[in-house]
Amino acid sequence: MDIRKIGIVGAGQMGNGIAHVCALAGYDVVMNDVSQDSLDKALALIDRNIERQVSKGRITAGDKSAAMARITTTLTLADLGPSDLIIEAATERETVKQAIFEDLLPHLKPETILTSNTSSISITRLASRTDRPERFMGFHFMNPVPVMQLVELIRGIATDEATFKACKSVVDRLGKTAASAEDFPAFIVNRILMPMINEAVYTLYEGVGNVKSIDEALKLGANHPMGPLELADFIGLDTCLAIMNVLHDGLADTKYRPCPLLTKYVEAGWLGRKTERGFYDYRGEVPVPTR
Ligand SMILES: NC(=O)c1ccc[n+]([C@@H]2O[C@H](COP(=O)([O-])OP(=O)(O)OC[C@H]3O[C@@H](n4cnc5c(N)ncnc54)[C@H](O)[C@@H]3O)[C@@H](O)[C@H]2O)c1
């Protein structure tokens, strides 16, 4: 299948990055969100991020203006109707994603491929509630999308080979590397990464270390480029909690129970970088630990 037009649902930190790389690779992109503010911020951010690539000499000013001209935004899901591929990147909540696919389906061409950028939710279950489970799969980018090389491709039980090949060809055209994962809670990367982040929050909760010592210990002691709490803020604490809940519910093992302190931060609305406060406070010149 020839994919030319990509519809992206959700213009948050992932949606804007996905729009950025797809437009630069030559795809026409229509980006949807429920919030005009999110759409405006996403476009401004894409412009800034692509400009940085121009100033580093990686692409030309002409590449930038062509990419920006390929992106349109809309508050109306129906405008994604002509898309060949949909990448859903809205909030990590199953009811939200289900409602999006339900509203979208009547506007789509029969051959359109549906995908979700979900970090953890069952692809098979999302697919089963659509009219095309064979043309549905997980298309899981890493954050920040323009920088990270990996895309996890997750087949649901019913996903057919043509759909997998079409999505793989998009990953190739983006210049990224696909890793194939089976449809079990949180797939590969987050199945391993999130329990580590959750354990770092337990280490903080139990007073074994503070934010600074925990992050420094993992950076200097395990050679991680970012500390786990810094990384949690970067991902978004609501997303981290949602993924831990999916692991806990889906695998029914108490080793995946979310740390109560992670829940507390989310209850406070301290979701990390996107709300300027999480394990660090980002409102000043330099990030300051909050514990
Ligand atoms: N943050 C990460 O590091 C990361 C990495 C890989 C995948 N993901 C996944 O990507 C998805 C998005 O995460 P994010 O970090 O970009 O979240 P985010 O909070 O930055 O953005 C979510 C966006 O979805 C929009 N939205 C909510 N309901 C909507 C609806 N009904 N229709 C259209 N838009 C809607 C919100 O307005 C917001 O702009 C999630 O499924 C998440 O698990 C996140």
pLDDT digits (tens, 9 = 90+) for 4-31: 999 999 999 999 999 999 999 999 999 9
Q: Which of 8, 9, 13, 14 to mutate to test the pocket of ligand 1 (most atoms within 8 A of CB)?
A: 14
pLDDT digits (tens, 9 = 90+) for 187-206: 999 999 999 999 999 999 99
Kindly state if the Cβ of 33 falls inside 6 Å of ligand 1.
yes
Rg over CA atoms, the chain: 19
Say how many Å lie between the CA of residue 212 and the centre of ligand 1. 28
Say how many Å lie between the CA of residue 90 and the centre of ligand 1. 4
CATH, domain 190-283, list 2.30.110.10, 1.10.3210.10, 1.10.1760.20, 1.10.1040.10 = 1.10.1040.10
Q: Is 51 a catalytic residue?
A: no
Kindly state if the Cβ of 10 falls inside 6 Å of ligand 1.
yes
What does the pLDDT read at residue 97? 97
Instruction: Name the active-site residue from 16, 116, 117, 119.
Output: 119
Q: Structural domain boundaries of the chain?
A: 5-182, 190-283
What does the pLDDT read at residue 148? 97
What does the pLDDT read at residue 255? 97
Length of the chain counted residue by residue: 291
Say how many Å lie between the CA of residue 33 and the centre of ligand 1. 10
269: left (phi over 0), alpha (psi -120 to 50) or beta: left
User: H/E element holding 289?
Assistant: strand 288-289
**Torsion of the alpha carbons at 144, 145, 150 and 156, rounded to the nearest 10:** 110
With 80 as the cut, is the pLDDT of residue 216 above it?
yes
Q: Which of 45, 75, 91, 246 to mutate to test the pocket of ligand 1 (most atoms within 8 A of CB)?
A: 91
Beta strands 5-9 and 85-88: pairing type? parallel
Say how many Å lie between the CA of residue 192 and the centre of ligand 1. 21
Kindly state if the Cβ of 91 falls inside 6 Å of ligand 1.
yes
What does the pLDDT read at residue 1? 74
pLDDT digits (tens, 9 = 90+) for 91-117: 989 999 999 999 999 999 999 999 999
What topology does CATH give the domain 5-182?
Rossmann fold (3.40.50)
Q: Is 38 a catalytic residue?
A: no
Q: Is 161 a catalytic residue?
A: no
Portion of the chain with pLDDT greater than 90, in percent = 98
pLDDT digits (tens, 9 = 90+) for 249-282: 999 999 999 999 999 999 999 999 999 999 999 9
Residue that the structure tokens 């190739």 belong to = 172
**In the Cβ-directed half-sphere of 100, how many Cα atoms lie within 13 Å?**
27
Output the six-digit token pair for 87.
């990448």
Say how many Å lie between the CA of residue 142 and the centre of ligand 1. 12
Kindly state if the Cβ of 194 falls inside 6 Å of ligand 1.
no
d(CA 182, CA 168): 15
pLDDT digits (tens, 9 = 90+) for 162-191: 999 999 999 999 999 999 999 999 999 999
- The rounded mean pLDDT for the chain is 97
Q: Is 119 a catalytic residue?
A: yes
- Contact 272/237 with Cβ under 8 angstroms? yes
With 80 as the cut, is the pLDDT of residue 210 above it?
yes
Ranges assigned E (strand) in 93-250: 113-116, 136-141, 150-155, 177-182
Determine the average pLDDT of the residues in 236-241: 96
Strands of 71-74's sheet, edge to edge?
A: 71-74, 28-32, 5-9, 85-88, 113-116, 136-141, 150-155, 177-182
- C-alpha distances (whole Å) from 158 to each of 68, 84, 162, 182 are 36, 19, 12, 12
d(CA 36, CA 75): 7
